Amino acid sequence: MEVRMVTILCCGLLCACHPSDRFDVRKTDIFYVKDYNVSAEKDCRTEDVNLNNTRAKQFFTRARAIDYETMNANYPVAPCDVVGTVSYDKHACDWEVSAAGTAWVACDEKREQRWYFACDDCSDLLTHAD
């Protein structure tokens, strides 16, 4: 009986400490845009992924969660992206949104665990001029 109680208690603690498998944008504070990155200037301009703080949150609100394999197999790699930070469920997180309409958020200490996203209906957010 004691072993069962200890096992249940340990499982409960592990679940409480493990980050959620689903990213819930409602648990975020302000999305902050830090930088714009480009790997091929002739193929991408700032206007191709022109997010500000408000549109970054809108992007993640509209986007759907996908896995890495889906993103890799079905979406192009864009030569430019916007990166930033957000507070998610009281954790400091990094994020990236690419001109291809894909994104990721990473909140663990080493940024190894990521949530991946795609937004097929976000071109108005990505190319909107300030």
Candidates 75, 32, 77; CA nearest to 51 is: 32
pLDDT > 50? residue 87: yes
pLDDT > 90? residue 21: no
The pLDDT, as a whole number, for residue 129 is: 54
Taking the C-alpha atoms of residue 94 and residue 96, their distance in angstroms, rounded to an integer, is 7
Q: What is the mean pLDDT of the chain?
A: 81
| pLDDT classification of 2: cutoffs 50, 70, 90 | low
CA 32 from centre of chain: 12
The pLDDT, as a whole number, for residue 130 is: 53
Q: Which of 42-46, 83-87, 111-115 has the lowest mean pLDDT?
A: 42-46
What is the DSSP annotation of 13-28? HHHHHSPPSS--GGGB
User: Domain boundaries in the chain?
Assistant: 22-127
Taking the C-alpha atoms of residue 107 and residue 110, their distance in angstroms, rounded to an integer, is 8
The pLDDT, as a whole number, for residue 110 is: 72
Q: Would you say the pTM of this structure is higher than 0.75?
A: yes
